[in-house]
Each structure stands twice: as structure tokens, then as C-alpha cells.
Amino acid sequence: MDMNKMPEGMDHSKMHKGNDQHKGMSEHDHHAMMIADFKKRFYVVLALTIPIMLLSTMIQHFMGVNWTFTGSSYILFALSSVVFVYGGWPFLTGLVDEVKSKNPGMMFLIGFAITVAYCYSVAIVFGLKGMDFFWELATLILIMLLGHWIEMKSVMGASNELELLVQLMPSDAHMVMPDMVHDVKTDTLKENDIILIKPGEKVAADGIILEGESYLNESMLTGESKPVLKAKGDKVIAGSINGNGSFKVTVSHAAKDSYLSQVVKLVDDAQKSKSQTQLLADTAAKWLTVIALVTGIGTFLYWYLTGQTLAFAMERMVTVIVICCPHALGLAVPLVVAKSTALSAKHGLLIKNRTAFENARKITTIVFDKTGTLTVGKFEVSKVVSLNKEFKEDELIRLSSALEQKSEHPIATGILQKVKDLKLTIPQAENFKAITGQGVEATVEGKTLLVVSPGYLNENKLAVPDGFTANDTETVVFILIDQKLAGYIALSDELRPESAEAIKTLREENIKSILLTGDNSKVAASVSKTLGMDSFIAEVLPHQKLEKIKELQSKGEFVAMTGDGVNDAPALAQADIGIAVGSGSDIAAETAGIVLVNSNPKDIVSLILFGKATYRKMIQNLIWATGYNVIALPLAAGVLYNQGIVLSPAAGAVLMTVSTVVVAINASLLKVKA
């Protein structure tokens, strides 16, 4: 069994025959079938173990009875053979697979231990002097089957979180045809199809509302607990649950490209990806396998060569090997990984890079991009000032909207909203050009028009107009028409209600918060002071953001950067941990290790606290999984034999199973602090 495949439970797929026909089934069904198989084997072995124990000489001695009769040893042999072959089958096939892949581990050790015990006992039945091992063999297999059954249920619990995300997608959709509504399979939907969403149903595809409105519950996808009102023109995400209204949606893309499919893929990839902690656990498990074999054989030789019976030496070897099975160790990290990744996704934290997530515990400084993270990100025009009699305020808004209609920037959205409110017609723009970090330029109605930031005026030595005032929370853009300053538009963006609380929690965790923005110093200072942040860096162009991050790192800070992933991409890549914020299908913010679906600063705090909790769980599990071996292994080898303390193979199996179950339960207790 390859320990590296552990998040899906162990690689039990090869552990019994007849699995090839199930290749088409989901992992969930496959797991359920495996659990049922272990359960059945457990009960059959349990029924056979009772007569095996009653027929065993040692148990009879212990009970003070003598039930031996002619041929009783052969009946014992026959029953034990069934237990060995039927009950031990998963472990024996596992042993063969591990030998083939030259990767001995858990299954190799169990398979080896039960084979040694069985072969030796058979030799006793057919004439070798000594005590047979049949009852130890039966109880050992029984406990191993029980341990695997319980542990697979835990593993399945962790994988279930991902399965729940998959199940969010409805299988059918109501497709709107010209003459009727026709039910089709969700995975057949294409871009620009129109579907109808009825009250209480799940949205079948990502898209834009064509007509109608309703409140949608997106909590399973974004972690946003309040239902959100969606009306014509709004984006909807597949898997969200509709309230009481009904509406039609124009499908944006096929099901496989939907937000939910991308989340499921991300979660799946992250569960399979390795972090430093996982690699550490894998190495430890490999070493434990080597230690088990060397110590087991060494123990056997020591007792046998110092005059103990062959039976006693064999028993010590089998117990050592069983105790040493690196099972708990193999599960210690993957179970926490599977649980944490899926839980995060349900709370709107999408982990793309496991190491980045585990390193969240080391963060000393968080650099926040202001717009849309600490603020709501909805700019509203607070005033329009004309500096040229030729152009009235409404005309300035109308002309500048031509440049902004192609932009996704919050400032553009604010200007376009104002145009809508004033019921103005947006003119056409030609020769459109973006000036990185400073604004946009185009030709509108034959005039060269620029909508730019104050930084552009400074850089191009243009004077700021007399009487120009902007309060501390306003962002201003200037309008140049044919290279002459025609006026300016001031927009303001309100702070998110959760921001102050998030900054306060970071301070309690001894994490510095720094505001990094292209906005003017006055706005930055006001926001920083209001929220109680440690400092701010203002009027920074996108390429300078990268330099600022490097500067902080050179001072020994472990820096996390949050940004919208577009103009912040270089800085996100440079930061020790890049956190992309922004909902919807911007999920592929390639440079970030973590994507926050909601642009909520509280989610960043949750992420850090959850990263710490996850790391703690992994370390707890690793300590438990290795610690019990340190104590149990010498006892199994018989170090305290002269003091009358010795572990039987069955007791070894119980200890091994208990350690695995403790690790599984500990992983399942992981929670996200909302």
C-alpha cells in the first residue's frame, strides 16, 4: 500500500478481488463497498474466532478445562486456515502489491506477521514440537479488520466533505426552448443556453440572470451566510439554492468550467498535494517499516539464541512487527489534510497550495490591498467638478463613462452607475489604451480623453487645479480633454463593517497589518487610522507593490499579501503567502496559494487561525503516532520480560488499532472558527 495515496483512505482499491468492474463508480461508492467488505469479513472471523479460542490448548489451560479430543488440532487448523485466507486476504494481497511496487509498508508488515504465525502453527499441527499460535492469529486478524473498518469510516468522513460539494450540483436543469421548457441533464448545458430556476431549487449552471429576481443562498459555496438578492444582470453560481422567486438564467459556460467544478477540482488537488509536514510523515512511515523488520528479526534471534523456545521467539517477533505498523503515522497528516481542505472550501477559503496554508501560522505581517478587501469596493460618485466652462458636470460624466465601460475597476463601476442614475447615453470610445496603474485613454467623439489618477498629474508635471479639495476618504480621478484639465470626479468607498474587528484580532495574534494602495496618502491615512492598522503605504503603482513586499521581507517579516489577483499578481507571487480575494470565477488567480471567495477581511483572520489549528492537529497526530511506538515497541520486544510484563500479539494489535483510531478521531475534531 502506497502511503502517498492516503487522503482517500488507504489504497485499499487493490485489496480484494473483483474491483475492476467497479472502475466506473464514484470514490464515495467505492469506499462504501470497501467498508461493507471489511464489516462482513470482521463478522465471519468473529464467528470463527470463538471456536478457535475454545479449542486452543493455552486458553483451555487458562480456563482450567481440557476439551481436546482426537482430531481437535485438525479442526483448529481448518478453522484457522479459513480465518487466515478469508480474514487475512486484504492484508495478503496488500503485501503482494507492496512487494511488487518495492514499497513495503503497513500491509507488508501485517501480511508478514500473520503468515509467519500461520506457517509456524501449521508446522506444530503436523509434528513440530511447541505451542500453536492459532488463537493469537485469529484475534490479531479480527482486531486488524475492526481497526481498518473503523478507520475507513473516518477516512470516508473526511472525503465526504468533498462529496457534499460535488452533490451541490443538480443533475437536471429546466432548459427554456422557444415553445416549451424542457428538462435536460446539467452536464449537457452550453454557453448562452437559457434555463429556468424555480423556487427552492438549486441553480444548475453559472450564468447571468435574464429576467426575474430572487434571494439566493450561496453559503455552501462562498461561506456568506445571508441570502443575497439577485436581479436581472447579476451573476449566479451553480449549486446556490434559490429562495421564493423564479428567474431565467443565461448560461455562461459548460458545467465542467463552472465555479463549483473548479472548487471541487481545487479541493481534490489540494487534498492530494504534498506539504512539508506530509513529506515528513511519509519519511517517518518508511523508516518505521524498516525499524519494524530489523527489530522484529533482531528480537526473534535474541530470544531464540538465548535459549527461549521457538514459539516464544516467534511470538515476540510477530508482536513487534504488528506494534510497529506505521498505520497511524500514515494517516496522521492525510486525514487532517482531507478534512481541512474540504472544510475550508465550505467556508469560502480555497487552498491551492498546501504548504502556503500550513505556513499561515508563521505570518508576522499582512499587507492589505484597500479596495474591495477592507472597503466594500463599491465606489459612488460623491461630486463632479468642472474646470472648463465648455464642459458641464453631466457632460464630464458622460464622456468619461465611454472610457470606463470596458473596465472592471470599482471606480469605473461608480462612474457607470452615476451615468445610469442620470439616464445619459454612453458614447463610443476608440483607440482605447490603459495607462498602467494611472488610468485610461481613448478617443471619444473626436476628442482625446484621459481619465487619470493624481499620480499621473504629478508625473507629467501638471498642476493640480486651484481650489481643489478632496476629503480624506475620497478617491479622485481627473479628466483631461485634448491634454487640458477639464475637471475631476470624486468617489468614495465605505469601509466594510467587519474590517475593524479583523484588524483587532490580527493585533491580538501579534500580526502587523499594513495598508498598501495606489490611492492618495490622505485616503490611506484615514482608512489606516480608522481601522487601527500599524501603517500604510500609499500612491504605489502595481510594479512598486512587489518592491514594497521585498522590503518587508528583507526586514525578516513573513509576509502575506491580499489582493484582487489582477494588478497585484507580481506582489502576490513575491509574498510568502499570496491570498487572492474576489468572488466568482476568478478562482484561477494563478499566483496566489489561497483564494478567498468572499472579499471579507474576517476570512483572512479565519484562514490564519484555521491554518494554525490544522498544523496543531497534524503535529498532535504525528506525536501520538510515533510516541506510542516508542513505549510499546520495547514492551513487545520483551524488555520487561523478567519483570513479568510482556505484550501478546493481540494486545499489540489492540494498541496499534487504538493509536490509529485516536489519530482518525483527532483529525475529525478539526473545526473552522467562523
Mean pLDDT, the chain, rounded, equals 80
The CATH number for 569's domain is 3.40.50.1000
Is 466 within 8 Å of 451 (Cβ atoms)? Answer: no
Total count of domains within the chain: 4
Model confidence over 131-147: pLDDT tens digits? Answer: 677 887 888 788 778 87
Is 477 within 8 Å of 493 (Cβ atoms)? Answer: no
Fill in the DSSP letter of residue 308.
-
**Per-residue pLDDT, 165:** 64
Say if 38 falls within a structural domain: yes
Domain match, 317 and 355 both? no
Phi, psi of 350 (to 5 degrees): -105, 115
Lowest mean pLDDT among 30-34, 236-240, 425-429: 30-34
Say if 217 falls within a structural domain: yes
Measured distance CA(207)–CA(43) in Å, rounded: 51
Helix (H, G, I), strand (E, B) or coil at 324: coil
Measured distance CA(45)–CA(364) in Å, rounded: 55
**Per-residue pLDDT, 473:** 67
Domain match, 113 and 181 both? no
* Interval 649-668 mean pLDDT: 79
Say if 609 falls within a structural domain: no
Task: Return the percentage of the chain with pLDDT > 70, whole number.
Answer: 84
Q: Which residues of 537-548 are buried (b: 16+ CB within 10 A; e: fewer)?
A: bbbbbbebbbeb
Residue 581, burial from CB neighbour count under 10 angstroms (0-12, 13-18, 19+): buried
Domain match, 486 and 589 both? no
Tell how far CA 130 is from the center of its chain. Answer: 54
Asked if pLDDT for residue 655 goes beyond 50, the answer is yes
Quickly state the pLDDT bin for 23 (edges 50, 70, 90): very low
Tell how far CA 647 is from the center of its chain. Answer: 40
**Per-residue pLDDT, 338:** 76
The CATH number for 452's domain is 3.40.1110.10
Domain match, 517 and 567 both? yes
- Active-site option among 369, 493, 576, 603: 369
Say if 605 falls within a structural domain: no
Domain match, 336 and 357 both? no
**Per-residue pLDDT, 21:** 40
**Per-residue pLDDT, 522:** 80
Say if 556 falls within a structural domain: yes
Beta bridge partners of 85: none
Domain match, 14 and 67 both? yes
Please spell the DSSP secondary structure of 7-53, one letter per residue. Answer: GGSS-GGGSSSS-GGGTTS-HHHHHHHHHHHHHHHHHHHHHHHHHHH
> pTM of the predicted model, to two decimals?
0.64
- Integer-rounded Cα Rg, in Å, for the chain is 33
Of 461, 492, 523, the one marking the end of a domain is 492
Model confidence over 165-211: pLDDT tens digits? Answer: 667 778 889 999 888 888 998 889 999 999 999 998 989 998 999 99
Pairing mode, strands 535-537 and 512-516: parallel
Measured distance CA(12)–CA(87) in Å, rounded: 15
Half-sphere exposure of 419 (CA within 13 A, CB side): 21
Nearest to residue 651, comparing CAs of 236, 274, 136? 136
Lowest mean pLDDT among 19-28, 137-146, 387-396, 536-545: 19-28
Lowest mean pLDDT among 38-52, 369-383, 394-408, 415-429: 369-383
37 is catalytic: no
Identify residue 614 by its one-letter amino acid code: T
Of 239, 257, 275, the one marking the end of a domain is 257
Domain match, 136 and 284 both? yes
What range defines the domain where residue 224 resides? 172-257
Say if 436 falls within a structural domain: yes
Domain match, 30 and 157 both? yes
Say if 607 falls within a structural domain: no
**Per-residue pLDDT, 251:** 93
Domain match, 356 and 403 both? no
Domain match, 132 and 189 both? no
Cell output for 308 = 527461549
* Interval 399-404 mean pLDDT: 86
Domain match, 106 and 60 both? yes
Helix (H, G, I), strand (E, B) or coil at 500: helix
| Edge-to-edge strand list for the sheet holding 439-444 | 380-386, 484-492, 474-481, 447-452, 439-444, 429-435
Of 451, 477, 492, the one marking the end of a domain is 492
Measured distance CA(347)–CA(594) in Å, rounded: 13
Quickly state the pLDDT bin for 10 (edges 50, 70, 90): very low
Cell output for 233 = 444582470
Domain match, 460 and 530 both? no
Measured distance CA(232)–CA(214) in Å, rounded: 10
- Altogether, the residues listed in the chain come to a count of 674
**Per-residue pLDDT, 196:** 94
Say if 438 falls within a structural domain: yes
Which secondary-structure segment (H or E) carries 597?
A: none
